[in-house]
A and B are shown apart, each in its own frame.
Chain A
């Protein structure tokens, strides 16, 4: 029996709450009816619906679904808080001392059964603080963001499932259950990225995301299968906290590749890491993540921050002793999985950051920055900075969820501005007669929040607007930063929270969470390098410092282009969330404020104790985060705490402030004018080059050393050559080869096998002709035939059996 007072049972209920919400919404409250797409009940996110009946959620269904979804996630959050406080009040919560755990049989096969169970160790406790909080913010935000989508009920069902899957993964006590959550999240990402499935680009992106991650997942599944066949269990406790098992895995040569000196642990580790490379969008499987922007913005926040990509890193952190088995990164001894992580992570961090420099889409910049930041964590794990990577995972989740939702808010405001503009034109230029042609428009004349969603219904009119205002922009893109500018005056709350998230991402020193976590990774790398002069550590250190610099730069660029300067378009000057006090405005900005708070303070739990001044304030008894989380590993596996060293901290200061300053220099101090090209393109022309050379010698040097090569590299080498050329090319090639093999098989099938198979039927064609003649439709004849056949068989049998018996 489940005893609800026992804390061991509470974690069971945490994922169940959103899963139950999913079931209730999907089965009971998601009720819709069909109306013509032109009806104004239909919010009109997409013009593709025209001319057909579309399902519209009944108002009661919409409200009820929101209530159910919110209740599920709120319940999960409250229960998580209980577990969280219980956890942090338990001194030395860990495997050796206390652990909340329970499990039961799930899939019985053979002697052992696969058990599903839950387990709460320090990692889980920390995740249970972050995930439900971020998810809840996303839910609140979705109330406003999806307020006029005709399928809002379904949306809440799916994100509830998403949240439930993520929480399942977090509390899982074995790899099988973790994989279940992992896959269900993949499914949810597929359904949510393709949420607006009428759009070709949306379902294409959904398929791309699903298949790319699926390739990695299947390889991960092989790792799980291999691990199980070696150990006979998938429970974390039995594998990861058991020296004998780990030593056995590290000592056994791997299947097939064992002769190359790879141990079973190494091969299993590589398989599992490939799973993470797919899920956490690391090079070379990162291609799906930027496309995943096709989904609604809350989904982007879910995928990029709270759930999906974090799950990949979390899985590695969870399984860490397995990857470490047989090596010791802190003395410079690497195992194959660690090396793979370090190289892939460090490369991805820099690679994605360079791409982010050149993006103009407000969400795309953030997408590449996510890839880059996950690379940081991956690289940190590769060099043994286990706790630092986990710390960065947590802080990143807060500020990235914030950034995505803030960007969604910006986009929403721009759409509102665009719509507002149409309205004015309607009144100014068309006068009364225009209304005859635009019935649907009339309904929206009131300037309520509703209007923000209706821009597509007025899509029939942009010709008017274009002729008058903006011949340069026939299709207005509300996500393009070049169309923005000066938005801080329109949407101050969004802008300030966005800026807080941005500087946290950039690692603005001392104040922000991003600084403390990023600094810890660099300090770890630096410390081990100085101790052992390990080449991998110095490689990782260098790559990450460069990536950190670029991060700060593109963040400054983004903040400047979006919020600073003057409105570059008419739309931007009319942007807004429909006044200060309405549902959309409140639900879309409240979560930003909550997350902004954590984007600042979450860092102070991980201040190193020997850090000047701050150490004595925030960590008088040692780094609290470090001291809590380290008990998720066995004592002898716990990483050493690097002593304070000024060099990596100075580097952190330098790259963060330098990048931000440089970005501000280029985009904030001299804001872009409407229609003006990106200054970096100008840099490439001689006149601007001279101007810069004369005025800012140091800037020019940076441009020559960093920006121009980085820009050129990211544009010409990374995007065009590697991303589009090699990776997409390879995928296309594989697709083509598969197609070709399929065709070959098809032909083979037709000629070779059917050829042989057909020989016999042709031989019996005469029988067929005869048979056709007796197919008179008389059932009695058929029945007779069947009976005769059976009798005949029986007779043959009796005779032959009798014959055999006699002989």
Chain B
């Protein structure tokens, strides 16, 4: 084997190194700092795009990933899902880290996180560009921002549970500092604290669950049946021959889960309880807090509003996806039985998210709060897609993660550009801005149309499969509460969620007409003028993928499908 460039490691460590270098720069050399940050972000975007398109090629070529997955399903076998998951990993790098604890530095991309890697690259560039004119402690700002980006990348590409948590926490601290240090003065300390607490508490609970999971898997592999599975996995190349039984490696945990390690009855001495049914809600919701799941969503609008524009963009655009992604990766993939037992009620929370977020967004006067609550609403759709537990719905949710990420970053970018020039976010006092800022106006309309699911934009190809998947799952999902059985209710949820889309249309149009259409008051807003070239780049960078993915979903949908196939296989759905 020739030397292969460790792309993912580069993606994670370049921003960390750049952050350290920036910290040692002279704070007065602002342009040098900006230039370094921007070139770092551009390199990241380039590498991310390389990863994304290489993976896309793998999926789409004849005999590519989708076909080999189909073959696996047809051939059958004991560990099909794990095999499928392992086969889907590309750019894999694995180094031992803490051998005795089974912790390794293991990173790779699959169909689910490759789009997220691309999205992170896009938002990183956009975030640096929109922070171009920050004067206050720009050196620290850029350094923390790059550190945050590194953490986000790390979570997405980690194939080791410990590594995942490590980067998860690495992302939260810079976030706190960025909001508390550079945010909106009125709210920043409150919001930063609220956000950090919500997310930390959620992740700590999930972390405890993860440790318990590793221990349970270890004791399973030490039983006779487990040892046989372990040997078989080693034989088929799923696990390396030197793999320890105590390991945080997600492939190994997937093997354990597929072999039924988390499925033994009598957990905690309770007859009907298994490891999966006990820990699933804690781990899933622990992570889903970051995806803004109801009723733990309230950190998010405040956090978005308080944060400086770049942080709002990366926060709503990428960080919330971190929660949804980790909830899927550790929750659904590793505890499918738990998912089948609990998602049928968790879906009610996601429905509340969708409807409630839309209603509140409809009644907000603050431009940024509208977008903040719309994020709550749209992230509800992602969780709802997970809850469909079939390929269509989950593919839709994966697409929605990308679509919402680009769209909401675009929204926050637009809000930031308007706010920078008007110095107010009070919607009724704005108006006619499209005349002065046509680029921003059109970008906002494109984002708005994507958010209301207009065909031809990415929102439609994300929301439509989610609804399809939910409806298709309707027959197979039942919920038992005591003696009362609820069945076939997923279709009703689709109806309610779809009507929330109408409310989305209403608030998007309302905001658009009040901010961008109508009369422009030139005396009140003398500073409002057209945007700078950096801003245009941001709008193009985030707006064009919305259109491209919407018009040509085959650029992304097959890849996401290849990513969710193993998860669905774990759920027994293939």
Q: Which A residues fall within an 8 A CB radius of B?
A: 48, 51-55, 105-111, 176, 179-180, 183-184, 187, 190, 194, 197-198, 200, 203, 207, 210-211, 214-215, 218-219, 221-222, 225-226, 228-229, 255-256, 738-739, 741-743, 745-746, 749, 753-754, 757-758, 760-761, 764, 768, 772, 775, 777, 779-780, 782-783, 785-786, 789-790, 793-794, 797-798, 800-802, 804-805
Contact = CB atoms under 8 A, between A and B. Distances in A.
Contact of B390 (A106, A110, A207, A785): A110
A241 B34 CA distance: 63
A764 B181 contact: no
B11 interface: no
B465 interface: yes
Contacts of B474: 229, 255
Contacts of A794: 166
Given A214-B502, A225-B468, A797-B162, A779 B23 contact: yes
Contacts of B362: 738, 742
9 tightest A-B CB contacts, nearest first: A742-B363, A110-B391, A180-B455, A107-B553, A229-B471, A109-B392, A229-B472, A110-B392, A197-B517
Contacts of B101: 798, 801-802, 805
A266 B410 CA distance: 42
A72 B433 CA distance: 32
Q: Say what secondary structure dominates the interface of chain B.
A: helix
Nearest to B204: A793
B461 A793 contact: no
Contacts of B251: none
A786 B498 contact: no
B178 to A, nearest CB: 10
B173 A109 contact: no
Interface of B: 23, 66, 98, 101, 137, 139-140, 143-144, 147, 162, 166, 169-170, 173-174, 177, 180-181, 189-190, 193-194, 197-198, 211, 214-215, 218, 246, 295, 298-299, 356, 359-360, 362-363, 390-392, 395-396, 432, 434-435, 438, 449, 452, 454-456, 460-461, 464-465, 467-469, 471-472, 474, 488, 491-492, 494-495, 498-499, 501-503, 505-506, 509-510, 513, 517-520, 522, 553-554, 557-558, 561
24 contacts: A52-B435, A52-B520, A109-B468, A110-B391, A110-B392, A176-B464, A183-B455, A184-B455, A187-B449, A190-B509, A197-B434, A198-B517, A211-B506, A221-B467, A228-B468, A742-B363, A753-B298, A761-B197, A775-B180, A790-B169, A793-B169, A798-B98, A801-B101, A804-B215
Given A179-B455, A218-B502, 7 more contacts: A107-B553, A109-B469, A226-B471, A228-B468, A780-B23, A790-B169, A797-B211
Given A179-B455, A198-B519, A225-B467, A764 B359 contact: no
Contacts of A805: 101, 215, 218, 246
B529 to A, nearest CB: 11
Contact of B554 (A108, A183, A738, A783): A108
A643 to B, nearest CB: 45
A190 B452 CA distance: 14
Given A109-B396, A221-B498, A757 B174 contact: no
A57 B362 CA distance: 36
A167 B390 CA distance: 34
A211 B449 CA distance: 12
B114 to A, nearest CB: 16
Given A110-B391, A200-B518, A211 B502 contact: yes
A757 B197 CA distance: 10
Given A110-B395, A180-B456, A790-B169, A194 B561 contact: no
Given A764-B197, A786-B174, A207 B509 contact: yes
A51 to B, nearest CB: 8
B359 A738 contact: yes
A109 B557 contact: yes
SS class, residues of chain A in contact with chain B: helix
Given A207-B513, A226-B491, A746 B360 contact: yes
Nearest to A107: B553
B464 A221 contact: yes
A190 B454 CA distance: 12
A87 B471 CA distance: 39
A226 B495 CA distance: 10
A107 B501 CA distance: 21
Contacts of A775: 180-181
A5 to B, nearest CB: 26
A203 B517 contact: yes
Given A218-B499, A255-B488, A779-B23, A210 B553 contact: no
B468 A229 contact: yes
A790 B170 contact: yes
B207 to A, nearest CB: 8
Nearest to B449: A187
Contacts of B509: 190, 207, 210-211
Contacts of A255: 474, 488, 491
A266 B215 CA distance: 54
B211 A218 contact: no
A105 B553 CA distance: 10
Contacts of A52: 435, 520, 522
Given A179-B455, A194-B517, A225-B467, A106 B554 contact: yes
Contact of A184 (B456, B461, B471): B456
B173 A746 contact: no
Given A109-B396, A229-B468, A738 B454 contact: no
B215 A111 contact: no
B388 to A, nearest CB: 11
B499 to A, nearest CB: 6
Nearest to B360: A745
Contacts of A53: 435
Given A52-B435, A52-B522, A107-B553, A779 B140 contact: yes
A55 B449 CA distance: 25
B518 A198 contact: yes
Contacts of A782: 140, 144, 177
A798 B103 CA distance: 10
B455 A789 contact: no
A654 to B, nearest CB: 45
Given A109-B561, A738-B359, A183 B454 contact: yes
A533 B505 CA distance: 46
A742 B517 contact: no
A805 B465 CA distance: 44
The residue among B66, B162, B396, B502 with the most chain A CB atoms within 10 A of its own CB is B502
Contacts of B520: 52
Contacts of B464: 107, 176, 221, 225
Contact of A108 (B434, B455, B518, B557): B557
Contact of B359 (A183, A742, A768): A742
Contacts of B359: 738, 741-742, 745
Contacts of B517: 194, 197-198, 203
Contacts of A180: 455-456, 460
B554 A203 contact: no
Nearest to A750: B298
